[in-house]
């Protein structure tokens, strides 16, 4: 009985070793290559707008023994001293000028305190020093105005929103405003920071950030505020690949042609969108898609990325499904186009048009707005494919097949050695 149990354990260990080798090889073989399109224009200045809540609640003295407003001013002064020289920075306020009770007036109270451009630290600090907690919290209108402030140029763009409470100017929903900004395709990120936030404020600020691919941070101390704002400003100065806006079609025949790169689009709930990629003989197409659930969605959903010929024959597909709340669902595929044996050079080099279909099965409840559509990010790459038909048959592994074989053999041998050692230890134990 003991021998049988130990034998089962040894078998499981051998299997685990082989599986580990297989997974490692697949990880190497499926590693993506960087996209080339969509990168910011070299030399384009990154832009940041700090959007600060100056409403009456900022008078509260509960951050390190000082008022929230004083903490924000101190953090701003230190951040302004450290802004990278190539970053264009602006400051916008909300609730800073109107102290009255007229809701209609108070909900328009947003002001560009310091225009977006090359930073004059002394001038910016002087402007911040004049601020005093005053009125309402019109977050939605402030975000709309900030997006307008940052328009133009090809560099990174970011709004850093700092507030201690939720918007007081409904029905203009700040989450919907953020979705509308994201749908414009201007590659603007909104990061939110909540000063000692309650549950409603946390929920609203998280929604705003998620809608634009930004981050939410809860702040309890002055140094946390300073460090996080400085980190976000500094991050904007580092160029990253920026997706190119594209609009998919209802059918492949009228779909846009995609080159290698990173793209973004918007897709309605339960919609199909088509794109085209020309793949030359000897190339391998690698594509992936991510769809963001930037609002509450029903359980049970899925994302499909399907490659087919122009005549509708399916080549390969990738899909992913879920049944709970998530932010992003992603899937991908690979297709290697074999080389054509022909004496006609034109025929040998003729590309094949591959139709890419992106579909989703998201559904929203009756109270959830479905416009604009869900954010879609599509990555496309074309690399040198396998050199012969036998390599094409090993689809998905690329040139990593030899590593797969080596790792599987190593795993198998390792399992055998471990089994032999285990049996030897058992024999010695019984002898003693």
DSSP 100-147: SS-HHHHTT-EEEEEEEES--HHHHHHHHHT----S---HHHHHHHHH
Token pair in block for residue 56:
């009456």
Dist CA 184 CA 372 (whole Å)? 10
Which residue is listed with tokens 């992603």? 330
- Quickly count: other Cβ atoms within 10 Å of residue 269's Cβ: 17
Closest CA to 246 of 258, 238, 237, 236: 258
Which residue is listed with tokens 């979705």? 179
pLDDT at 400: 55
Cβ-contact 95, 165 below 8 angstroms: no
Kindly list the averaged pLDDT for each block of 10 residues, start to end, along the chain of length 432: 38 39 37 42 80 96 96 96 94 95 94 96 96 95 96 89 93 92 87 94 92 91 94 86 87 96 93 96 93 85 94 94 75 89 70 96 87 92 69 45 71 78 72 67
pLDDT at 20: 41
Q: Could you give all domains of the chain from N- to C-terminal order, each with its CATH number? A: 47-236 (3.40.50.410), 243-387 (2.60.120.380)
- Per-residue pLDDT of 133-150, as tens digits, reads 999 999 999 999 999 999
């Amino acid at each position: 009985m003991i021998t049988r149990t130990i034998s089962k354990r040894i078998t499981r260990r051998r299997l685990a070793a082989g599986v580990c080798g297989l997974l490692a090889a697949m990880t190497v073989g499926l590693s993506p290559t960087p996209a080339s399109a969509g990168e910011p224009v070299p030399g384009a200045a990154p832009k940041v707008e700090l959007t600060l809540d100056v409403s009456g609640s900022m008078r509260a003295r509960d951050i390190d023994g000082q008022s929230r407003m004083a903490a924000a001013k101190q953090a701003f002064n230190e951040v302004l001293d450290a802004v990278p020289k190539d970053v264009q920075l602006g400051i916008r306020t909300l609730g800073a000028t109107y102290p009255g009770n007229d809701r209609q007036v108070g909900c328009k109270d947003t002001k560009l305190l310091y225009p977006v451009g090359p930073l004059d630290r002394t001038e910016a600090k002087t402007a911040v020093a004049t601020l005093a907690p005053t009125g309402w919290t019109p977050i939605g209108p402030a975000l709309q105005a900030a997006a307008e402030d940052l328009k133009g140029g090809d560099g990174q763009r970011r709004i850093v929103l700092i507030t201690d409470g939720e918007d007081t100017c409904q029905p203009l929903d700040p989450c919907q405003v953020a979705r509308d900004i994201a749908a414009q395709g201007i590659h603007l990120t909104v990061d939110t920071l909540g000063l000692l936030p309650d549950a409603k404020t946390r929920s609203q600020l998280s929604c705003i950030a998620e809608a634009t691919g930004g981050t939410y941070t809860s702040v309890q101390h002055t140094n946390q505020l300073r460090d996080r704002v400085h980190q976000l400003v500094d991050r904007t100065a580092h160029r990253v690949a920026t997706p190119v806006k594209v609009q998919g079609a209802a059918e492949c025949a009228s779909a846009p042609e995609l080159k290698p790169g990173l793209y973004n689009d918007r897709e309605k709930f339960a919609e199909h969108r088509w794109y085209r990629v020309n793949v030359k003989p000897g190339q391998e197409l690698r594509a992936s898609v991510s769809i963001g659930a930037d609002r509450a969605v029903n359980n049970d959903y899925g994302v499909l990325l399907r490659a087919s010929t122009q005549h509708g024959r399916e080549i390969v597909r990738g899909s992913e499904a879920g049944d709970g709340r998530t932010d992003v669902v992603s899937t991908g595929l690979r297709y290697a186009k074999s080389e054509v044996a022909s004496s006609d050079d034109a025929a040998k080099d003729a590309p094949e048009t591959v139709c890419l279909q992106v579909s989703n099965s998201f559904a929203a409840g009756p109270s959830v707005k479905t416009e604009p559509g869900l954010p879609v990010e599509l990555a496309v790459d074309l690399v040198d494919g396998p050199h012969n038909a036998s390599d094409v048959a090993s689809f998905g592994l690329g040139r990593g097949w030899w590593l797969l074989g080596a790792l599987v053999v190593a795993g198998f041998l390792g399992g055998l050695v471990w089994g032999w050692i285990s049996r030897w230890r058992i024999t010695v134990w019984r002898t003693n």
